Amino acid sequence: MKIPFVSLAHQTGVIKMAYQSRLEELLNKSDFVMGPCLSTFEQNYASYTGVQYCVGMSNGLDALKVALRVAGVGVGDEVIVPAHTFIATWLAVSEIGAIPVPVDCQLKTRNIDETLIEQKISNKTKAIIAVHLYGLPCHMKYILDIASEHQLIVIEDNAQAQGAKYKGSMTGSFGHINATSFYPSKNLGVAGDAGAITINVEQYYNHALLLRNYGSIRKYYHEEVGYNARMDNLQAAFLDLKLPHLDTWNAERTSIANTYVKALSGIGDLTLPFTPSGYEPAFHLFVVTTKFRTKLQQYLRQGGIETLIHYPVPNPLQEAYRNLGYANGDFKNTEQLSETVLSLPLYPGIAQEQVEYVVQEVIQFFKEL
**Is residue 53 involved in binding ligand PLP (CB under 6 A)?**
no
Size of the site for ligand PLP (CB under 6 A): 15
**CB contact at 8 A, 197 and 57:** yes
**Is residue 111 involved in binding ligand PLP (CB under 6 A)?**
no
**Is residue 137 involved in binding ligand PLP (CB under 6 A)?**
no
**Is residue 156 involved in binding ligand PLP (CB under 6 A)?**
no
Pairing between strand 165-166 and 169-170?
antiparallel
- Among residues 125, 181, 290, 333, which is the contact residue for ligand PLP, using CB under 6 A? 181
**What is the contact mask toward ligand PLP in residues 12 to 51, using x (rule: CB under 6 A)?**
----------------------------------------
C-alpha 144/C-alpha 151 separation (Å) is: 10
Residue number closest to ligand PLP, CB atom: 60
Query: In the complex with ligand PLP, which residue's Cβ is closer, 85 or 333?
Result: 85
**What is the contact mask toward ligand PLP in residues 265 to 284, using x (rule: CB under 6 A)?**
--------------------
**CB contact at 8 A, 288 and 341:** yes
List the beta bridge partners of residue 344: 286
Query: In the complex with ligand PLP, which residue's Cβ is closer, 85 or 289?
Result: 85
**Is residue 187 involved in binding ligand PLP (CB under 6 A)?**
no
C-alpha 49/C-alpha 246 separation (Å) is: 12
**CB contact at 8 A, 45 and 54:** yes
Q: How far is CA 268 from CA 114, 291, 318, 363, in A?
A: 30, 10, 31, 8
State in angstroms the smallest separation of the CB of 131 from ligand PLP: 5
**Is residue 235 involved in binding ligand PLP (CB under 6 A)?**
no
C-alpha 246/C-alpha 189 separation (Å) is: 10
**Is residue 195 involved in binding ligand PLP (CB under 6 A)?**
yes
C-alpha 198/C-alpha 52 separation (Å) is: 8
Q: Which of residues 60-99 bind ligand PLP (CB under 6 A)?
A: 60-61, 85-86, 88-89
Q: How many CB atoms are closer than 10 A to CB 131?
A: 25
C-alpha 358/C-alpha 360 separation (Å) is: 5
Q: Which residues bind ligand PLP (CB under 6 A)?
A: 59-61, 85-86, 88-89, 131, 157, 159-160, 181, 183, 193, 195
